[in-house]
Amino acid sequence: MITQTEVGGIPAVLAPTTGPMHAGLVFRVGFADEPLAKRGITHLIEHLALHAFGVADYHYNGATGTEYTFFHMQGAEADIVAFLNGVCTALNDLPMHRLPTEKEILRTEENTRGEGPTEALPLWRHGARDYGVATYPEWGLSGITPDDLRAWVARYFTVENAALWIAGPAVPAGLELTLPHGERRPAPEPSSALPVRPAYFPGPSNVVAWDAVVERSTSAGVFSGVLERSLFRSLRQESGLSYTVQAAYEPRSGGRAVITAFADALPEKQGAVLGGFVDVLASLRLGLVDEADVIAVVNQRVEELERAEENGTRLPGQAFNLLAGRPVQAAAELIAEVRAVTREQVAAVGAAAFADGLLMTPGRTGADWAGYTPAPNDSEKVAEGNRYASMDDPDLSFVAGDRGVSLLGDGSAATVFYDECAVLLAWPDGARRFVGNDGIQVHFEPTLYPNGHAVVPALDARVRPELRASMPSRDPQRIPQPRPAQAAEPAAGGKTWPVIVLVLLSPIMIFLGFFGLAFVVAAFADDVDRAVEVTIGVTFLAFAALAGWGVVWAIRRLRR
C-alpha cells in the first residue's frame, strides 16, 4: 500500500516491494519548458549531475522527458542514500569543467538516435513551442553558459518543484536531499499550430501515424488498448498489410492525455494501410466498439496494476501525480475504476479523439477523402521588405523586412515575423535560420544572394538576443555556393550549327519536294511506268520530309 511522507521538505510516496529496493527523485521540468534557443539545457544538467558517479556496480540512471526529469537507482539502502544525496549535491554545484565534454557527448547521442514513427506529430500539432520542442534537435547546446545552467537549476531543481518515490519498507536513514528553495512550476499550456482538426500531413512512405489530445481518464487509457487491438486485427491479422501496430496512452499535466498510434507499411501498400487505418478510427468514432475488446483490455490493465503494485512500478507515476497536483490513488481504487469502464465510455473517447486527431499519411498520399484537413505547411502572409533573388535558383527569392523575413518559391511562401520567432540559428559563416512559433522555417545562406553578407547584421539586430542560438562552425565544403554560371556562347558559336543546318537543308528540302511532287503528278499522266514513278516520287518526298524536320529544328534553336 502506498503511503505519503516527506523528506527534506520534498513530498514522497513510499510502498513496500517484493523486489529490490529502488528510489527516484523527480522534478517538474522537461523539454516542454525549454525555449528553443536553450533546447537541451535540462538534458545537459541531468548529465552533469550524474558525472560524479562514473561506472558503478549498481543500476542508476537519469532521464529527461517532456514534462519531468528524474534520477533513479536500484540497490542497497546505503547506495540509494549516497546516490540521491549525491545528485542533490551535484545540482547545487554542477561540475562546470565538464561542460564542453558533456556537450559533445550529447551531440553524439543525438546523432545516433533514430527518429521514432510518431516523432513528427508534436511538431505539426504544437509548432516550435512547449510540447513541440521535444521534436527539435538540441540546438541550444553550443551557446549554453554556466550562468544559464545555474539559473535553470535555481528555477526548476528546487525543493518545491520536486517529489520522491521509494520502493522499500521505509525511508532510508541519512537521506537528506538538500536542495535550494523555489516555487512549484506548473507544466506549460499546450499551444496549437492546427487551425482545424482533424488534420493530416504527409510523412515517410513506410508508416501511418496518428495522435489526439483528450481528457485524461481511465476510459481513455482503455480506449488506447482497444484501438491497438482493432488496428492489429485489421492491418495484420486480417489483411497482412502491417507487421508492427502499436498504440499508447500518455497522461499529461493539466488533466490532459495524448493517445498515439502507428502502423508500418510497404511503400507499394501505403494506400491500403492508410485506408485500413482510417477505417478503424472511423468505426470507433461511430461507436462500433467490440465489447470483447473492452473486456480484454480491462482485464489486461487490472493484471498490470496488480503486478505493478507488488513490484513498486506504480510509484514513479504517483510521484508525477504529486507534482501535477493530482491525488495519490490507491491501487484498489484505480482497479475499481478500470473494471467500471464501459463500451459506451470507450466509444465516447473514440468520438472525441477522432475530432481532435492529427494523421500522418504515408508518402504523397492524402486524407481529404476521409474528412481530414491538410495541416498548413507554408505561410499565408509575406513579409514586406527588400527582395533578393537567389543566384542559385531563379525561382527562389528572400525577403528581408522590418517586421519579418520570407522565402518565396514554387508559388508558396515561408514567413517568420520577428515577434513570432522561436529561435534564430546563427552560424559563424553568416548562415541564418529563422524558426517561427508555428514551426515554419526560413533559411538564409548569404553566399547564395547578391551582397548577402551585408544583409546579415540587419537581420541579427531585429531578433531579440535571447532567441539567438549559436551553431558550430561548418566544414567549408558544406557551405553552399552558387552553381558556376555557364560560359557565354561566342557571338556565333552557339548559333553556328543551326545556321549551317538551315543553309544546307533548306534548298535540299525544296529540291527533293519539287521533284517528288513532279514524279507523282507524272505518274497519273503516264499509264506505262506509273508504279516506278510513284515509288520514286514517294522516296523523294520522304527525304524532303526529313530535311524539313532538320529545318524546323534549326529555326527553333535560332529563336532561343
Residue 122 has pLDDT above 60, yes or no: yes
| Stretch among 7-16, 58-67, 346-355 having the lowest mean pLDDT | 58-67
Distance CA 350, CA 344 (A): 10
Using the Cα atoms of residue 286, residue 292, residue 294 and residue 300 in order, give the sign of their dihedral.
Answer: negative
Distance CA 434, CA 422 (A): 8
Residue 113 has pLDDT above 90, yes or no: no
Residue 558 has what pLDDT?
64
Mean pLDDT within 99-118? 90
Percent of the chain whose pLDDT exceeds 90: 78
* Domain pair 3-167 / 199-374, same fold: yes
pLDDT band with cut points at 50, 70 and 90 for residue 124: very high
Which homologous superfamily does the CATH classification assign to the domain defined by 3-167?
Metalloenzyme, LuxS/M16 peptidase-like (3.30.830.10)
Averaged confidence pLDDT in the chain:
91
Residue 499 has pLDDT above 80, yes or no: no
Residue 544 has what pLDDT?
76
Mean pLDDT within 313-329? 92
Residue 487 has pLDDT above 70, yes or no: no
Written as one letter, the residue type at 473 is S
Contact between 265 and 117 (Cβ < 8 Å): no
Domain spanning 199-374 has what CATH number?
3.30.830.10
199-203 β-sheet, strand order: 245-251, 256-264, 207-215, 358-362, 199-203, 373-374
pLDDT digits (tens, 9 = 90+) for 227-281: 999 999 999 999 999 999 999 999 999 999 999 999 999 999 999 999 999 999 9
Residue 529 has pLDDT above 80, yes or no: no
**Domain residue limits, the chain:** 3-167, 199-374, 385-478, 496-559
Distance CA 560, CA 557 (A): 5
Nearest to 435 by CA among 65, 178, 127: 127
pLDDT digits (tens, 9 = 90+) for 180-219: 999 999 999 999 999 999 999 999 999 999 999 999 999 9
Residue 485 has pLDDT above 90, yes or no: no
pLDDT digits (tens, 9 = 90+) for 373-391: 999 999 999 999 999 999 9
Residue 336 has what pLDDT?
97
Mean pLDDT within 220-230? 98
Angstrom distances, CA of residue 126 to CA of 50, 80, 278, 438, 440: 31, 38, 22, 7, 12
For residue 161, give the DSSP letter. Answer: G
Residue 138 has pLDDT above 60, yes or no: yes
pLDDT band with cut points at 50, 70 and 90 for residue 528: low
pLDDT band with cut points at 50, 70 and 90 for residue 559: low
Percent of the chain whose pLDDT exceeds 70: 94
Domain 385-478 belongs to what topology? PH-domain like (2.30.29)
Which pTM value belongs to this model? 0.84
Three-state SS for 92?
helix
